[in-house]
Structures are given as C-alpha cells and as structure tokens.
Chain A
Amino acid sequence: MSNNDQDQTENTTPESFEDPGQPYHRPRLADKDPKAAKRAERQVAVLFGISVIGTIMAIWAYFGLRDMGDDVASIQQTNTMIGLGVVLSMLGIGFGAIHWAKTLMRDHEMVEERHPLRSSDENRAEAIQKLKDGVEDSGIGAGPDGVPRRGLLKGSLITALAIAPLALLVPQIGNMGGDWNISKFRHTMWKQGTRLARDPDGSLIKASDVTIGSAFHVIPDGLATLEHDRLEEKSKAVVLLIRMDPRDLKIQPGREDWSFDGIVAYSKICTHVGCPVALDEQQTHHLLCPCHQSTFDVADGAKVVFGPAKRPLPQLPIAIDDEGYIIAQRDFEEPVGPSYWDRLKSGDTTSEEVAA
C-alpha cells in the first residue's frame, strides 16, 4: 500500500483532496423553538437558584449546627453539611453557566487567521541594529568610529556577577546544615551495659521474659526520658530482639558471644533506605520491611534473602547482667541504616567527644 499506484492515473485528477470548508451549522432546539429557549432560560435560573440555596446552607451549617456540641461526631456533621452546601453553591453556578452557553449563546463557529510567529524581516533587522547600537554605546564591542573596545569591563563584570551569589549562598547553605558533623551517623545511644527496654513504654526486659518465637521492639533504657534529640537517637537506636530455638540459629563467625541462648538483637533500621523493619515472620525467621519488602533472615545473621537491600541488618552484641536484664555489650560495630558514600571511612570526631 504505497503511493506508487498513482503512476497509472490520468492527468486530470488532482494530487490531493480539497478542503471541503466548514460544515453546515446545525441549529439547536432552542435556536428553532422559542418555547425551548424559554425553558432553557428557566433551567439556568433554577440552577443559579440552587447555588444560592447551597451558600445559605453552608452558612446555616456553620452557625446552626455548632450548638449541637463540641464532640468529634457533631463537628464531623458540621463539616459534611458545610461541604454539601459548598457543593451545591459551586455546582449550581457551574452547571447554570455551562447550560446557558450550550443552549442559548450563539454557537456559530467563527474563523480567525493566524499569523506566523516569526517577526517580519524589517523588525528583525531593526531589533538587531538596536542591540548593536546598545553594545556599541556601552563599549562592550568595538565601535566603527573609533570608540575603544573595553574588553576588561566585560571580563570583570562577568566574573563579579558569577561569584556575587556566593555572598548570599555561602552563609545560607552553611547555616542550614547545623554542625555538619556527619560522623554522628556512626554512633547510637547503645553503650556497654545499656539495658534493653520495651518500645514505647521503656520497661526493662529480662532474659526470662523472652520466650522462644517471641519478638520485642526495643529501645535503649533512658531514651524515653531523653531531653534532647530523642527522635534522632530513636531513629538510630531501635532494635528488634528475637528468641529462636538455638538449634535453628546459625551463629556468625566472630560473633559467637553476641547472642544469648538463642536471643539475638538486630537493628530495626533497614539497610535499604531506613524504614523500620517491623514485620516478623515467625515461621521462617524472616524480617520484612513493609516499605520496600527487603527480607532478612534472622536465623542466618539477618542476611538479605529478597528485595532491594544489599547489606545484612547490623547486629547488637548482647549479654545478661547480674540482675538478669538483657544489656548491650557495646554500640553497633557499623553505622545503622542506609548506605552512604563515606560509610566505611572512620574520619571520626564523635568517638573522642564521647570518650571525653
């Protein structure tokens, strides 16, 4: 199906079809029948009337319904009634105006010529000349009649303009980042001997409380009463404590004393983008992050078994103190949460601050 078929045609047939022009205008009912027009007019007026009723209804709902009481249910009712008033108020005007336009306003399509957007050649030439004149007057370009070209001005102005924003931006950006101490990512509230507490009430956890198969959402003891940076610390320190049958647990090399009788503690902050890994699948010992479904195998060092995360959840080394409470042996050995560029670098100032 190509246009080679054209070859056989007689010369009299035109190359292409001709534009038939605008179609005949079909009159509407209201154009032909004055009764229909009158009816349409009444309909439009009724619609505008509905709008007025809607407005009154909204105002009535605001004043009238408020006396019913201050409880949640009555304010919900006020909201719904004001809302329905607004609906009528708006739709009445809208449908009225559109109905008016569609039935009663003249609907003969008209034609307007377009003009090419390009300026005329004279205008272009004139514009270019004006710019040239300006360039010449300023001395940026060389003038024909001996006006010297001031190249130094151009260079210095561009330099000045290019760096001037820094005078505002440096203080602006500099202030916005607080103390810029990103080594805080490496440390959490966990220290040697910090007791594990339940989230959110802060009650302490004894090893005997943790039955096989159970899981606890854990915060460090003292977090709940922290005066400053409570949410910042909680964002890094939350831990999941799980007890498994010790026979199911594959102890990771080098972490032989990090768990206690099948009790393990892992960071709850996903190594993908930092959501809380909150869903515990008891049967499979899998932890699932509900945000992006990274799945970690608690039985095997919380390694990734599915999903977008790449690294295992960091493990918190735990022990039992004299009173039987579960405690941390020390802080996590790596930064918790998502990866970042300098994650493995320890250009670290905070640890000294902590030690001091």
Chain B
Amino acid sequence: MGTQTTAAAAGTANYLDDRTSIGGFVKFFARKLFPDHWSFMLGEIALYSFIVLLLSGVFLTAFFVPDMTEVHYEGAFPTMHGVEMSEAFASTLRISFEVPGGLLMRQIHHWAALLFTASILIHMARVFFTGAFRKPREINWLIGFTLMILSLAAGFTGYSLPDDVLSGNGLRIIDGIVKSIPIIGSYTSYWLFGGEFPGTVLIPRLFTAHILLVPALILGMIALHLFLVFLHKHTQYPGGGRTHKNVVGLPLFPVYTAKAGGFFFVVFGVIALLGALFTINPVWNYGPYDPSPVSAGTQPDWYILFVDGALRMMPGSLFGLPFEWELGGYTLSMNLLIPGLIMPALLFGFMALYPWIEAWATGDRGEKHVLDRPRNAPVRTGIGVGVITFYVILVLEGSNDIVANLFHLSLNNLTVFFRFAIFLLPVVAFWVTKRICMGLQRKDRELVLHGNETGRIVRHEDGEYIEVHELLDEEARWVRVSYDDISPREFEPVVNDRGVERKGHRFEKAKARLSRFYYEDRISPVTPAELEEAKHDH
C-alpha cells in the first residue's frame, strides 16, 4: 500500500473515531477468533440466501403489482391471451416474459427461498446433534427456532403472491384449516380474506406481510442471533487444546472476512446458476387462480409438504369412529385440527423447548462450549433421528401420489402404511440410532485400548502368532476420551430429615426419571487406568 493511501486511510479512521469511538469496536471485532469446521457454514448459507432474497426481492417489487382486480391478458405470452386473471398474475407474467432479467430474478428469488428454508433446518439439525444449544445458548436456539418459523411464513406468503391456480388452492387449504378452529374459525377466515374466500384484499395483505412485516422481523432476529454468537463466542469441536474455557481458531480479519465473505459470493453464484438454468414455479403453465380446476401431482413448496402430508394421512373416520364431532349442535373437525394445528404445535413446541428438557435430564449448570460428537449423546442423537423420521414420513405422505406413481404402488395402501409408520418408525429409528451410537462409542473404546491393527504378524517364542496393534497418538486418543460421562440424577427422598415432604418433589422425581431415560445406558470413556491394564494384557 502506498504511503498516500495509508495516510488517507489513517485520516478517515481518525475522522470516524473522533466522532464515533469506533476504535474500541474495531479492536473488539477485528481479530475475534472463529473455530474452523465445514458444518459451521450451514448457518452462513441461510444468512446469505436471505441477503440474496432481499436483493432479488427489491428487483421484483419494482414490477410486481399486488392487486386482485380482474384483467384480460394481452401481453407477450400468447397462450394466455384473453384469459381473465388478476393483475397480480398478469404482472407476474410481465416480469417473466417482458422484463429482461425478470424471470431470472424471479427464479433466483424462488430458489433462494427454497435454499433459505432448507439451510435453516439443516443448520438447526447441526446445532441439535452437536449439543450447541446447551447453556449459555438456549436463548439463541429459541431465536433460531423463531427464524425457522418466520422463514416458513416468508416462504408461504411469497409463494401465494402470483395468484396462480396452485398457490390459490394452497390458500384455500389454509382457509379450510382456519375455519376448523373452534368458535372463532369462521371469523378468523373472514378477518384474513376480508370476507368470503378468495375476496379481493388477500394478495395486497400478503404482499405487505411478505415485503415488510416478515422480513423486518427476520432482520431483527438475525441481528439478535448474530449478536449472541459474538457475545458467546463460537462453539468448537473437541480436540487438543480446546476447552470449555477457550476458543481456538482463526481471526475474523482477514481469514474469515475472506472465507465467509467469499462464501457469500459462492452461495449467490450457485443460486444464480439454479435461477439461470432451472425452471422453478412456471406459473404460466398452471394458469391464474380459478376455484374449479386442479391437476393431479401438484405439490406445494417443499417446506409445506409436512403439513400437507399430515392432512392426507389423517383419516376422516377410522374403524367407524369419526373424527368430526358434533357437540351440542356445533361442529368440531378433529380430522383438520389434529394434522393442521395440533401436530405442528406439538412438533414445534418440542423443538423450541428441547434445550430445557435436556437440561432437566442432565442437571448440569456449567457453560458448554466444546461440542459433543453425536455418538457421545446417544439418546439425544436418537431423539433427533426419531423426529427427522417423523418429519420425513410426513413429507413422503405429502407427495404420496408421486411416490406411488414412481414405485407403482397403490396410493391407498401407501397412505395406510404411513398411518402406522408415523407411530412406529420414529420409535424404531430412535432405538436403532441409540444402539448405533453406543456401538460407535464401544468401537472408540476398543481403538483407545488396543489401537489400530498394523497388519504385522509376530510369532512368539511359544509359537503363538499375534498381530501387532499400534496405540493411538495423544491427539487421536484425546478426541475419543474427552467427553462428559454423565450419570443419571439421583432422586432425593420425598421427605426430608425432619419428616416433612419436600417442596417440588414430584417435579424432581419426573426429572430423575427423565435423567434415567437419557443416561441409564451409557458407555464411559476409557480411563488411564483401563489403558494401563489393557497394555498389560498383551
């Protein structure tokens, strides 16, 4: 850098610092350390696809008209000439066929939205399986969870804006679910649609939610999320020299400025590649919204599939027992409430509260900054795989017509199978995963105690042949022995030494039971004594 530029930079820095004391800020940030691991990039993908969404969204707002007034189409796309459609749909066609770069931006926007929701879920799974949600990060887990919900809201409101027949049917399904809410359902539907479905106000309302309310909330939540990441300092995987009391990594400036900054451009580039070459949501093939036609094999965006699958799976009546009840002249549609509202509420509630559930079982109050290898938390890993299994079954049921077609199965049999599978397979997946984790832990013990096979055979004086094993080096051993060996919490007697019932003993008993569920079966890490003994055996 030339002396002139240096002087200019110093001058600018001086000018700014005199007025903002930004120096302290830079001192705090510039060389902040971040540990290195590929799985830490998953959250970055979510952040960067959100930035791509903002950029491409600004482009689209310049041309999209959120208006449900009916018009006759006379634009550049000949197949639709004379068709009655809303201004919203017509402007979507205009963006696609008359604005240079418009379809590109629409497709970039849509692909980025799909990637945004997907990367949030995968990032969440990483945080879950490595135990990164533990103290002090429980609140940040909750903020991240809220971001996941907001991403679904952003996705769904945006998906509905073009007012095509596919998204219109999606809205009608939402209307059906809303109407099933006891007492206030019909009025809530009127409140949303400004009267009867579909009305003329919904698209403008969704537009405001999509470009103002939801993104503003997301931005605020992202700011909080990242603030807490900086405050807590990033977690790190176990390894030599890494403890709960330090952070080992490379500095934000320049290494992560280049790596993470560069990664933004890579994410943008990949989304642009998808947008340039792969058609997504070709609404001109579907046509404008009309309450009458619908075609088979149509799918919502992937992140809605799990609710759609639950709706498909839930029987209207089972063995003659109906799930729509008439109570004192009022109608209660459990066949809608269970899949449409109760199941998502339970699933999301469990996800949101999980850090506290596990903390009850563990009873550990310390700060945790070194991540778990998933195998070292067999029950948690099992629960995670169980929940994913539950989710995947719902997604598969949500595309059961396509699955049935693909594998030449009967649609009805597939649904009946999933009705059983949704209860059975998550439990099986939990149990199998837990056992696999413990198997891997035993394998780790084996490696630490007896080392790797070298392939060298030695013959003893007494004629016995043995294969020489080479013990692990210190670093490799440390990774396999440095995990917390948590034993179940002890439950103290119900009455204390003065013979009085202790307060809250019921809750404590529940916590002790939970703790046994988590930690009764466990594989302890090898101790130095065990290693000594194993050496003597040879």
A residues with CB within 8 A of B: 1-3, 5-6, 8-10, 13-17, 19-23, 62, 66, 70-72, 75-76, 78-80, 82-84, 86-98, 100-102, 105-107, 109-114, 116-117, 173, 176-180, 182, 184-185, 199-200, 217, 219, 229-232, 234-236, 238, 268-269, 272-276, 278-279, 290-295, 304, 306-311, 337-345
Contact = CB atoms under 8 A, between A and B. Distances in A.
Contacts of B524: 1-3
B104 A232 contact: no
Contacts of B265: 90-94, 97
A97 B173 contact: no
B199 A87 contact: no
B478 A185 contact: no
A275 B166 CA distance: 11
B400 A293 contact: yes
A22 B292 contact: no
A59 to B, nearest CB: 11
Contacts of A97: 258-259, 261-262, 265
Interface residues of B, number: 131
B316 A304 contact: yes
Interface stretch (B210-218, B321-329, B371-379, B509-517): B321-329
Contacts of B311: 272-273, 292, 308
Contacts of A110: 33, 248-251
A317 B386 CA distance: 50
A278 B294 contact: yes
B331 A112 contact: no
B276 A79 contact: yes
A97 B266 CA distance: 10
Interface in B162-185: 169, 172-173, 175-177, 179-185
Given A112-B33, A234-B290, A278-B293, A307 B316 contact: yes
Interface stretch (B126-134, B186-194, B388-396): B186-194
Nearest to B404: A293
Nearest to A232: B196
A238 B187 contact: no
B276 A96 contact: no
Interface in B149-173: 169, 172-173
Contacts of A76: 103
B468 interface: no
Closest 9 CB pairs of A and B: A83-B276, A273-B176, A97-B262, A94-B265, A9-B529, A90-B269, A22-B241, A178-B195, A94-B266
B312 to A, nearest CB: 4
A169 to B, nearest CB: 12
Given A182-B186, A308-B314, A338-B180, A94 B481 contact: no
Given A107-B255, A182-B187, A294-B316, A19 B243 contact: yes
Contacts of B530: 5-6
Contacts of A10: 529, 532
A13 B532 contact: yes
Given A62-B100, A72-B76, A340-B185, A83 B292 contact: no
A114 B264 CA distance: 28
B239 interface: yes
Nearest to A16: B527
Given A22-B240, A273-B311, A340-B331, A291 B173 contact: yes
B248 A87 contact: no
22 contacts: A20-B474, A21-B240, A23-B239, A79-B276, A82-B276, A94-B269, A98-B266, A111-B33, A112-B33, A177-B195, A231-B198, A232-B195, A234-B290, A236-B196, A274-B175, A290-B401, A310-B335, A311-B324, A339-B324, A341-B180, A341-B183, A342-B186
